[in-house]
């Protein structure tokens, strides 16, 4: 009843091509953003910020990055945590060695370095594809894990191989309370989402999708695979690299190479598959799901007052997590984003379904 | 129809998740009870469970014992909650955040039980004002209380451990100068934990002229064939083992397989418990490891434990495992925590205390032989005496040898040489303070 | 001829790397042989896990990440059951459990996911592996358990006269190699000679064609997952007797991934040969190349074996995208 596009005529190309063509969507989106900026900071507790919201925002950014590669360009990567690590270590070294750099510059440079490394490891995609490529990206994962653990320069000759960062400061603003971090990350995420949204609607995004849907056909109609695939790797790694730098500086504060291990890579992949491949909104859903679910499962028995041993709870967490993954894949293989779309469709017809 | 049913199913699932999320978000309000809250970070699953479980059992059992036997700490009841970290840094940080605000006065102190988690929460401790106690692990430079205001590596660090092993080996050779030209291999867990001793071993290598071979083993440590092939090639005179969990038993098994004498293997105190040697069977005979505070065995406190906790069916683990090395280490870790609270109560009164108040207790711990005996820990602990500057309070250890059935403690207590370690700590702590822009504390003013 | 040039160059480079330690005198022949043998033995174990991967991929197109969890689960089951009964009985019951598991997976996971993309199936098997990790630890416990095959663990010296210092070998490793060889032999017979085996190969070649001539796809899947489960059990028992049965076993299976790329996803022979190549390659690299790298770049320790296998596999892929024994794939528009 309320969610109708009736009467909303488009009179210009610009209006026809805008990101959210339906007025209700625009209102909803504006509402969400206002809520996130103006209301959440006053409501949420420190625990909520530090354990759920901040990881969620950063991982959503990483998930968008991975989604650009896997969901839009069709190149599977199981090694994306490696590019997060590149971003994190690049940012650490930039901030350490050139202390006068603004943090935003550090972020962008870290992203660019990650993009370069990502392109390097994207080269195999020109020869191989599908699951073969997926396993090949594992090479990036293990090599980077090793590199940062072994080359002392990257960790500033720290005796334990672990690095720690100073609190982030820019334009005289010291970002150290959870609320400040949240606001900063939210702003970064929104900017990057906007960029991503426009990228996938543009020439380059369409080239990626053509590559994904059928690479040979795309080549026939004049899309150069080298350009399309490597640009996808570069942009994706840029996003993930920035996310990695934020993960290190804003979330962990101190980390070791293990912080960016295979588990994180797999979690990123879970996010985009559960959330929905080829959907930016899905990346958000997926990140929320994967961040919240394990923590929730872990606390659930205690909240219900079921006395279970810690070990039992953790085992149950693993089992239920596994079952839920399979369950979601079976029930809705296109992810939560698809569910959202179905819900919207239903809403359009409501309350008269026929 | 199918589509509709599917949607309904999913909607229900999503609803449940949301509802649960709402419950989590609204943390229940706590009554101002006379309770002291102890957060317990443990790992009872995953690759490190065989070692994590006995430690956690010991720790929790002692808290239970204090409640059952003494009615709490001077009438203040102990409450605790366990949180599973799985030895993973990110989960550990989440656990820390989850538990730090619980109880009427917040978390008393944290034992992160992993060097990686220690590094991550050290940063947070400055804001949260909650002590991080790392008994026998953590950052070696955190002994310096003027920089690391909230870290307490009670009883010694890895630099102390490495120093003591070198001393022990030197004594066996007939003097530290005899180490010249010898080859020592360090087989270590490839993580901050395993890398921590390297700096000291290198320092000692410069002094005594031995050659140090570094052989990292990747988590979780079941792939060591190449490592031991290298040992067979290089034939080091000694192998120091800095492993954790399944890595330890694998090392000993590979030593058997490559014929390296176990008598020449020296483990750190985290590589010297029952789960480390029993899987290797007879092969582990002759293997040496450090003892940190508590060796295996039973004493007065274990009698109390059986009487007050286990006989009432309140025990956390199995009765037979009481007195195992790691169980006892959990006990002493809990003991030091409880004693710190007791000490702080002298100053702040017999009420639930904040982390900040407990820190004063940790900085003024004085557990001497008499106190140890009174507490029922005779033979299971060495004296500890901390100050604002010195957050370790003790740095001695002994060696024990596995004879195929049990650990035999060797005579002689060894003390780490502070002349070497102190300057290293100072340099490292200064660097950290500069990097993090930390204002140093002035201990003279605070006392 | 010209097309094969990269393969030839890579082959020669590898060969050169293989003989370099001997040629430059970095190692005496005795020790070199030992490393070679050690690599081969590790390779046999990788092959066993890779075999499970290849079987399942061949028949159902699923990239089974849960193979490692299956190895752990089977090993845990055998180890715990063997505490109460003789080992052979424990292994038999273990086999029954693995077959039941295969059936459940086919019913609850594979069948509803028919025709999904490869990556979705991969994630589903990851879900299965999470479940098995949790379930296994709940049912069987999370300590380190022992499996005693009754083989002496002390090393023996052989060829003392031929090389200085002799060559150290373990009987255990030889038994493992023999078992693996027997398993491969049995599997080959099963595939070549039995009706089920032939049906299986038909399914692997073309699902639809196989189904249209009346081969029951679902049953074939159950069989293939059962066989993979049994292979996992053998791998788990051998590995478990060597290292102890513990949670970490499931992670060793990651080593099998480069093996399947190298050998080709669908080839049983590829899994075996690939395993041996990876095993030898990574041990050689760690022992001989590692120290050189450490010295040259002032690294904090070696440990290159963790990525060496993957990089090796990656180089291979660039030269031969279908792997050593994989089928060549040609795209047509």
Q: Which residues of B touch A45 (CB under 8 A)?
A: 25, 27, 101
Check if the beta carbon of residue B358 is closer than 8 Å to that of residue B341: yes
B27 touches chain A (CB under 8 A): yes
CA atoms within 13 A on the CB side of B339: 24
The confidence score (pLDDT) of residue B9 equals: 55
C-alpha closest to that of B105 among B345, B335, B367, B392: B345
Q: Which residues of C touch A314 (CB under 8 A)?
A: 134
Q: How far is CA A311 from CA A159, B44, B53, B124, in A?
A: 34, 5, 9, 27
* Beta-carbon separation of B49 and C142 below 8 A: yes
In the predicted model, what is the mean pLDDT of chain B?
A: 86
In tens, the pLDDT along B54-63 reads: 999 999 999 9
* Residues facing B84 on adjacent strands: B42
Residue with tokens 């985009």: A272
Name the C residues in 11-50 with CB < 8 Å from any A CB: none
B90 touches chain A (CB under 8 A): yes
* Beta-carbon separation of C34 and B232 below 8 A: yes
Q: Tokens representing A251?
A: 């979330």
Q: Which of A96, A255, A300 sits opposite B20 (nearest CB)?
A: A300
**Binning pLDDT at 50, 70 and 90, where does residue A111 land?**
very high
Name the C residues in 13-42 with CB < 8 Å from any B CB: 27, 31, 34-35, 38, 41-42
DSSP B31-50: P--SEEEEEEEE--SSTTHH
User: Which residues of chain C fall below pLDDT 50?
Assistant: 1
* Residues facing B212 on adjacent strands: B184
The size of chain C, in residues, is 333
Q: Tokens representing A329?
A: 């894949």
The confidence score (pLDDT) of residue B336 equals: 92
- B168 or C330, higher pLDDT: B168
The confidence score (pLDDT) of residue C328 equals: 66
CA atoms within 13 A on the CB side of A226: 0
Can you tell me whether residue A47 is helix, strand or coil? helix
Q: Which residues of A touch B9 (CB under 8 A)?
A: 331
H helix or E strand, kind and range, residue A330: helix A310-331
Mutation test of the interface with chain A: which of C129, C307, C330, choosing the one with the most A Cβ atoms within 10 A?
C307
Q: Which of A162, A176, A298 sits opposite B119 (nearest CB)?
A: A162
B11 has pLDDT over 70? no
* Beta-carbon separation of A326 and C257 below 8 A: no
Q: Which of A136, A146, A316 sits opposite C306 (nearest CB)?
A: A146
Q: Which residues of C touch B226 (CB under 8 A)?
A: 38, 282-283, 286-287, 290, 305
B203 touches chain A (CB under 8 A): no
Q: How far is CA C324 from CA A125, B41, C257, C313, C317, in A?
A: 18, 48, 14, 10, 9
* Beta-carbon separation of C130 and A134 below 8 A: no
The confidence score (pLDDT) of residue B30 equals: 46
Q: Tokens representing A145?
A: 């894990």
State the burial class of residue C52 (Cβ atoms within 10 Å of its Cβ: 0-12, 13-18, 19+). Answer: buried
Give the residue on B whose Cα is nearest the Cα of A316.
Answer: B45
Q: Which residues of B touch A292 (CB under 8 A)?
A: 17, 21
- Rounded Cα–Cα distance for residues C32 and C284 (Å): 9
A271 has pLDDT over 80? yes
**Binning pLDDT at 50, 70 and 90, where does residue A152 land?**
confident
* Beta-carbon separation of A128 and C138 below 8 A: no
How many B-C residue pairs are in contact by the CB < 8 A criterion? 115
Check if the beta carbon of residue C313 is closer than 8 Å to that of residue C262: yes
C291 touches chain B (CB under 8 A): yes
The confidence score (pLDDT) of residue B31 equals: 47
* Beta-carbon separation of A160 and B115 below 8 A: yes
Check if the beta carbon of residue B283 is closer than 8 Å to that of residue C172: no
Chains within contact range of chain A (3+ C-beta pairs < 8 Å): B, C
Q: Tokens representing C309?
A: 């296998």
B400 has pLDDT over 50? yes
B447 has pLDDT over 60? no
C-alpha closest to that of A78 among A149, A147, A148, A130: A130
* Beta-carbon separation of A161 and B191 below 8 A: yes
Exposed e or buried b per residue across B226-241, where buried means at least 16 C-beta atoms within 10 angstroms of its C-beta: bbbbbbbbeebebbbb
A327 has pLDDT over 80? yes
Give the residue on A whose Cα is nearest the Cα of B139.
Answer: A160
State the burial class of residue A199 (Cβ atoms within 10 Å of its Cβ: 0-12, 13-18, 19+). Answer: middle
The confidence score (pLDDT) of residue B27 equals: 44
B177 touches chain A (CB under 8 A): no
Mutation test of the interface with chain A: which of B29, B48, B93, choosing the one with the most A Cβ atoms within 10 A?
B93
The size of chain A, in residues, is 354
| Other C-beta atoms lying within 10 Å of the C-beta of residue A51 | 24
B198 touches chain A (CB under 8 A): yes
B16 has pLDDT over 70? no
C-alpha closest to that of B227 among A301, C330, A306, C302: C302
Give the residue on C whose Cα is nearest the Cα of A127.
Answer: C318
Check if the beta carbon of residue C133 is closer than 8 Å to that of residue A323: no
- Rounded Cα–Cα distance for residues A26 and B60 (Å): 54
CA B134, B139, B142 angle in degrees (round to 5)?
85
C164 touches chain B (CB under 8 A): no
State the burial class of residue A190 (Cβ atoms within 10 Å of its Cβ: 0-12, 13-18, 19+). Answer: middle
A109 has pLDDT over 60? yes
What's the N-to-C CA distance of chain C in angstroms?
Answer: 27
The confidence score (pLDDT) of residue B379 equals: 82
- Rounded Cα–Cα distance for residues B400 and B414 (Å): 12
Query: pTM of the entire structure?
Result: 0.89
**φ and ψ at A205, to 5 degrees?**
-60, -40
* Beta-carbon separation of B192 and A161 below 8 A: yes
* Residues facing B77 on adjacent strands: B35
Give the residue on A whose Cα is nearest the Cα of C125.
Answer: A326
Q: Tokens representing C95?
A: 């086999």
Check if the beta carbon of residue B332 is closer than 8 Å to that of residue B381: yes
- Rounded Cα–Cα distance for residues A62 and B318 (Å): 44
C-alpha closest to that of A166 among A111, A248, A222: A248
Residue range A265-278: average pLDDT? Answer: 90
Q: How far is CA C321 from CA A125, A218, C276, C325, in A?
A: 10, 21, 19, 10
In tens, the pLDDT along A77-107 reads: 988 999 999 999 999 999 988 888 888 999 9
**Binning pLDDT at 50, 70 and 90, where does residue B1 land?**
very low
- Measure in Å the smallest separation between the Cα of C274 and chain B Cα atoms: 18
Residue range A42-61: average pLDDT? Answer: 88
Residues 6+ apart with CB under 8 A from A324: A293, C127
Check if the beta carbon of residue B152 is closer than 8 Å to that of residue B208: no
Q: How far is CA B325 from CA B384, C114, C262, in A?
A: 19, 52, 45
C-alpha closest to that of A263 among A108, A136, A113, A82: A82
The confidence score (pLDDT) of residue C1 equals: 46
**Binning pLDDT at 50, 70 and 90, where does residue A108 land?**
very high
CA C68, C138, B217 angle in degrees (round to 5)?
45
Check if the beta carbon of residue B196 is closer than 8 Å to that of residue B115: yes
Q: Which residues of A touch C132 (CB under 8 A)?
A: 322
Can you tell me whether residue A195 is helix, strand or coil? helix
* Residues facing C273 on adjacent strands: none
H helix or E strand, kind and range, residue B83: strand B77-84
* Beta-carbon separation of B435 and A47 below 8 A: no
H helix or E strand, kind and range, residue C79: helix C67-82
- Rounded Cα–Cα distance for residues B227 and B231 (Å): 6
CA B61 to chain centre: 17
| Other C-beta atoms lying within 10 Å of the C-beta of residue C11 | 12
B18 has pLDDT over 60? no
The confidence score (pLDDT) of residue A58 equals: 95
Give the residue on B whose Cα is nearest the Cα of A155.
Answer: B192
Give the residue on B whose Cα is nearest the Cα of A161.
Answer: B192
State the burial class of residue A47 (Cβ atoms within 10 Å of its Cβ: 0-12, 13-18, 19+). Answer: buried
- Rounded Cα–Cα distance for residues B142 and B439 (Å): 15
* Residues facing B182 on adjacent strands: none
- Measure in Å the smallest separation between the Cα of A132 and chain B Cα atoms: 25
Give the residue on A whose Cα is nearest the Cα of B42.
Answer: A310
Chains within contact range of chain C (3+ C-beta pairs < 8 Å): A, B
Residues 6+ apart with CB under 8 A from C231: C48, C49, C51, C52, C55, C183, C187
Q: Which of A130, A142, A316 sits opposite C134 (nearest CB)?
A: A316
- Rounded Cα–Cα distance for residues A252 and A249 (Å): 6
How many A-B residue pairs are in contact by the CB < 8 A criterion? 130
Check if the beta carbon of residue C224 is closer than 8 Å to that of residue C204: no
* Beta-carbon separation of C247 and B246 below 8 A: yes
- Rounded Cα–Cα distance for residues A203 and A185 (Å): 28
Q: Which of C122, C123, C311 sits opposite A139 (nearest CB)?
A: C311
- Measure in Å the smallest separation between the Cα of C154 and chain B Cα atoms: 6
Q: Do strands B151-152 and B132-133 pair parallel, antiparallel, or not at all (unpaired)? A: parallel
The confidence score (pLDDT) of residue C25 equals: 66
| Other C-beta atoms lying within 10 Å of the C-beta of residue A237 | 35
The confidence score (pLDDT) of residue A139 equals: 87
B6 touches chain A (CB under 8 A): yes
In tens, the pLDDT along B201-243 reads: 999 999 999 999 889 898 788 888 889 988 988 889 999 999 9
- Rounded Cα–Cα distance for residues C95 and A217 (Å): 47
CA C257 to chain centre: 8
- Rounded Cα–Cα distance for residues C138 and C156 (Å): 39
């Amino acid at each position: 009843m309320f969610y109708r596009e009736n009467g909303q005529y488009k009179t210009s190309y610009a209006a026809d091509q805008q990101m959210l063509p339906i007025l209700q969507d625009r209102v909803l989106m504006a509402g969400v953003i206002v809520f996130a900026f103006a209301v959440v900071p006053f409501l949420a507790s420190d625990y909520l910020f530090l354990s759920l919201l901040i990881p969620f925002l950063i991982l959503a950014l990483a998930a968008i990055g991975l989604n650009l590669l896997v969901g839009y360009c069709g190149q599977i990567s199981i090694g994306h945590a490696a590019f997060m690590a590149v971003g994190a270590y690049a940012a650490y070294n930039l901030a350490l060695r050139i202390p006068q750099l603004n943090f935003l510059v550090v972020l962008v440079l870290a992203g660019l370095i990650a993009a370069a490394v990502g392109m390097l490891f994207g080269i195999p995609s020109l020869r191989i594809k599908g699951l073969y490529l997926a396993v090949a990206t594992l090479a990036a994962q293990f090599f980077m894990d090793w590199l940062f653990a072994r080359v002392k320069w990257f960790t500033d000759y720290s005796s334990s191989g672990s690095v720690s960062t100073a609190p982030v400061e820019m334009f005289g603003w010291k970002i150290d309370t959870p609320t400040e971090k949240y606001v900063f990350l939210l702003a970064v995420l929104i900017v990057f989402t906007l960029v991503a949204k426009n990228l996938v609607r543009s020439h380059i995004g369409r080239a990626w999708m053509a590559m994904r849907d059928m690479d040979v056909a795309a080549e026939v109609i004049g899309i150069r695979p080298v350009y399309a695939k490597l640009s996808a790797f570069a942009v994706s790694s840029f996003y993930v690299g920035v996310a990695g730098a934020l993960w290190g500086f804003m979330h962990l504060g101190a980390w070791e190479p293990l912080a960016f291990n295979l588990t994180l890579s797999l979690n990123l992949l879970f996010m985009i598959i559960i959330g929905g491949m080829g959907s930016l909104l899905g990346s958000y859903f997926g990140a929320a799901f994967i961040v919240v679910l394990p923590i929730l499962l872990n606390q659930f028995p205690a909240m219900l007052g079921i006395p279970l041993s810690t070990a039992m709870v953790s085992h149950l967490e693993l089992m239920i997590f596994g079952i839920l993954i399979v369950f979601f894949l079976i029930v809705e293989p296109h992810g939560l984003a698809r569910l959202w779309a179905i819900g919207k469709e239903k809403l359009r017809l409501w309350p008269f379904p026929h | 129809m199918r589509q509709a049913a599917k949607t309904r199913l999913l909607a229900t699932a999503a609803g449940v998740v949301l509802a649960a999320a709402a419950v989590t978000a609204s943390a229940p309000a706590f009554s101002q009870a006379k309770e002291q809250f102890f957060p317990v970070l443990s790992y009872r699953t995953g690759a490190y469970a065989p070692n994590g479980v006995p430690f956690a059992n010991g720790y929790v059992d002692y808290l239970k014992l204090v409640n059952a036997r003494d009615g709490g700490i001077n009438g203040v009841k102990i409450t605790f909650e366990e949180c599973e970290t799985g030895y993973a840094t990110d989960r550990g940080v989440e656990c820390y955040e989850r538990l730090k605000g619980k109880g009427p006065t917040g978390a008393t102190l944290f034992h992160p039980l992993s060097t990686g988690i220690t590094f991550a929460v050290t940063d947070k401790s400055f804001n949260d004002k909650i002590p991080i106690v790392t008994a026998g692990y953590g950052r070696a430079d955190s002994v310096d209380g003027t920089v690391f205001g909230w870290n307490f590596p009670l009883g010694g660090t890895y630099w102390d451990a490495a120093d003591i092993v070198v001393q022990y080996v030197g004594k066996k050779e007939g003097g530290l100068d005899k180490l010249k030209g010898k080859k020592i291999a360090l087989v270590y867990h490839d993580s901050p934990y395993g890398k921590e001793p390297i700096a000291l071993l290198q320092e000692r290598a410069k002094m005594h002229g031995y050659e140090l071979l570094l052989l990292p083993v990747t988590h979780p440590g079941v792939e060591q064939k190449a490592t031991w092939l290298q040992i067979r090639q290089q034939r080091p005179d000694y192998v120091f083992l800095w492993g954790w969990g399944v890595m330890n038993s694998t090392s000993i098994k590979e030593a058997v397989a490559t014929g390296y004498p176990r008598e020449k293997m020296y483990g750190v105190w985290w590589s010297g418990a029952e789960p480390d040697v029993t899987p290797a069977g007879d092969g582990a005979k002759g293997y040496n490891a450090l003892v940190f505070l508590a060796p295996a065995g039973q004493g007065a406190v274990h009698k109390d434990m059986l009487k007050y906790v286990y006989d009432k069916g309140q025990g956390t683990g199995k009765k037979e495992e009481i007195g195992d090395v790691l169980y006892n280490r959990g006990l002493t870790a809990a003991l030091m925590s409880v004693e710190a609270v007791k000490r702080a109560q002298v100053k702040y009164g017999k009420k639930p205390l904040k982390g900040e108040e407990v820190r004063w207790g940790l900085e003024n711990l004085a557990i001497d032989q008499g106190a140890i005996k009174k507490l029922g820990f005779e033979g299971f602990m060495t004296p500890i005496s901390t100050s604002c500057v010195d957050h370790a309070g003790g740095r001695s250890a002994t060696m024990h040898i596995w004879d195929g059935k049990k650990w035999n403690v060797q005579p002689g207590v060894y003390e780490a040489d502070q002349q070497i370690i102190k300057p290293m700590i100072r340099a490292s702590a200064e660097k950290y303070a500069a990097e993090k822009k930390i204002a140093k504390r002035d201990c003279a003013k605070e006392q | 001829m010209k097309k094969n040039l990269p393969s030839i160059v890579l082959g020669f480079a590898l060969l050169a790397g293989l003989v370099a330690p001997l040629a430059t005198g970095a190692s005496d022949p005795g020790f070199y042989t030992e490393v070679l043998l050690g690599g081969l033995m590790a390779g046999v174990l990788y092959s066993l896990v890779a075999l499970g991967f290849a079987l399942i991929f061949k028949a159902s197109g699923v990239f089974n990440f849960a193979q490692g969890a299956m190895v752990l689960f089977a090993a845990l089951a055998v180890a715990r059951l063997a505490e109460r009964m003789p080992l052979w009985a424990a292994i038999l019951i273990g086999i029954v459990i693995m077959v039941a598991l295969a059936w459940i997976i086919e019913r609850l996971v594979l069948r509803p996911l028919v025709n999904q993309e490869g990556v979705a199936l991969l994630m589903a098997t990851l879900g299965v592996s999470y479940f098995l990790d949790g379930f296994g630890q709940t049912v069987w416990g999370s300590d380190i358990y022992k499996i005693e095959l009754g083989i002496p663990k002390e090393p023996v010296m052989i060829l003392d006269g031929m090389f200085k210092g002799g060559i150290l070998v373990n009987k255990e490793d030889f038994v493992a190699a023999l078992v693996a060889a027997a398993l491969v032999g049995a599997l080959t017979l099963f595939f070549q000679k039995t009706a089920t085996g032939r049906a299986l190969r038909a399914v692997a070649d073309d699902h639809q064609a196989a189904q249209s001539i009346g081969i029951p796809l679902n049953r074939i899947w159950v069989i293939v997952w059962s066989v993979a489960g049994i292979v996992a059990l053998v791998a788990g028992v051998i590995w478990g007797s060597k290292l102890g049965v513990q949670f970490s076993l499931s992670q060793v299976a990651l080593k099998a991934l480069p093996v399947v790329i190298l050998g080709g996803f669908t080839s049983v022979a590829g899994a075996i040969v690939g395993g041996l190549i990876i095993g030898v390659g990574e041990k050689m690299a760690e022992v001989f190349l590692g120290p050189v790298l450490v010295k040259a770049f002032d690294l904090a320790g070696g440990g290159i074996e963790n990525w060496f296998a993957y990089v090796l596999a990656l180089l291979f892929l660039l030269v031969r995208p279908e792997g050593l024994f994989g089928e060549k794939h040609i795209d047509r528009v």
